[in-house]
């Protein structure tokens, strides 16, 4: 969305390659993650841009890339094998999602385990109670670590979302990176509701990146805090 014409063409080619890999992964979670993160990034970029010209550019580029990627996906769907697999994976509910012990059924059963075991049952023990893992990172945190571990994980996620959102509206040289990292984080957290992500290294990498960008402002704000503290503790005359 930014840069000159050469950078725009280079980035367009790279975006198509990434879009092809993303589509051909046939992962509903990856598709949803990309869609949510892309919308969050576009919205935050639009509302934080000072110039009306830049806002117009954001809209034009977003529409252009949406049309370009859609045309590219339609070209891939012209291949019979790709089209057949897409029809199978595009269904909202798969066989392993439905049923009493399906993905969403295990969410309910897992909640009952949490109520019966407030101290938790330990990591990697869920599959000993039910056929598969919970496929819900928040539920897994409660089941494995008990109420204390579950609420600690939930607090960490909510706190990161809050400080990350505040950071994207602060004018810094790395504001575009802060918006990108936060958008990726939102999609990742949304995906964690239906997938176990605690073992994903990049999950913690994105959390660390958001906090690093927040803490990057610490040196420039420290003098202001020190002056405020000295003023507050100065003796009255």
Task: Kindly report, residue by residue over 75-93, the tens digit of the pLDDT.
Answer: 877 877 777 777 766 655 5
Residues 6+ apart with CB under 8 A from 145: 120, 123, 152, 153
The two tokens of residue 32 are 């949803």
Q: What is the mean pLDDT of residues 94-119?
A: 65
What's the confidence (pLDDT) of residue 31?
84
User: Is 60 exceeded by the pLDDT of residue 116?
Assistant: yes
The vertex-158 CA angle with 216 and 106, nearest 5°, equals 135
**pLDDT-derived band of residue 113, with 50, 70 and 90 as boundaries?**
confident
Find where tokens 């869920």 sit: 126
Query: Of all residues in the chain, what percent carry a pLDDT higher than 70?
Result: 78
Q: In the chain, where are the structural domains located?
A: 1-92, 96-222
What 8-state DSSP symbol labels residue 236? P
Residue range 11-43, pLDDT digits in tens = 888 888 888 888 888 787 888 889 899 999 999
Which residue is listed with tokens 């023990």? 125
What is the pTM for the complete model shown? Answer: 0.77
Q: In this predicted structure, what is the pLDDT of residue 94?
A: 55
> Comparing 101-115, 179-193, 194-208, which segment has the lowest mean pLDDT?
101-115
Buried b (16+ CB within 10 A) or exposed e, 4-37: eeeeeeeeeeeeeeebeebbeeeebbbeebbebb
Residue 2 confidence (pLDDT): 66
- For position 9, what pLDDT does the model report? 80
């Amino acid at each position: 969305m930014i840069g000159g014409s050469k950078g725009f063409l280079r980035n367009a080619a790279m975006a198509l390659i990434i879009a092809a890999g993303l589509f051909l992964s046939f992962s509903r979670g990856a598709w949803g993650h990309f869609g949510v993160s892309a919308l969050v990034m576009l919205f935050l970029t639009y509302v934080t841009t000072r110039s009306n010209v830049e806002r117009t550019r954001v809209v034009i580029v977003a529409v252009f890339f949406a049309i370009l990627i859609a045309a590219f996906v339609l070209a891939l769907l012209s291949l019979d094998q790709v089209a057949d697999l897409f029809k199978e994976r595009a269904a909202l509910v798969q066989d392993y999602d439905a049923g009493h012990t399906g993905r969403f059924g295990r969410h309910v059963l897992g909640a009952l385990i949490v109520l019966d075991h407030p101290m938790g049952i330990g990591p990697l023990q869920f599959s000993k109670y039910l056929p598969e893992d919970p496929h819900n990172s928040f539920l897994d945190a409660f089941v494995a670590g008990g109420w204390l571990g579950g609420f600690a994980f939930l607090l960490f996620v909510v706190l990161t979302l809050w400080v990350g959102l505040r950071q994207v509206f602060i004018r810094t040289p790395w504001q575009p990176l802060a918006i990108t990292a936060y958008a990726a984080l939102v999609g990742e957290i949304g995906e964690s509701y239906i997938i176990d992500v605690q073992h994903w290294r990049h999950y913690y990498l994105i959390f660390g990146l958001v906090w690093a960008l927040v803490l990057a402002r610490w040196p420039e704000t420290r003098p202001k805090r020190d002056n405020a503290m000295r003023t507050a503790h100065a003796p009255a005359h």
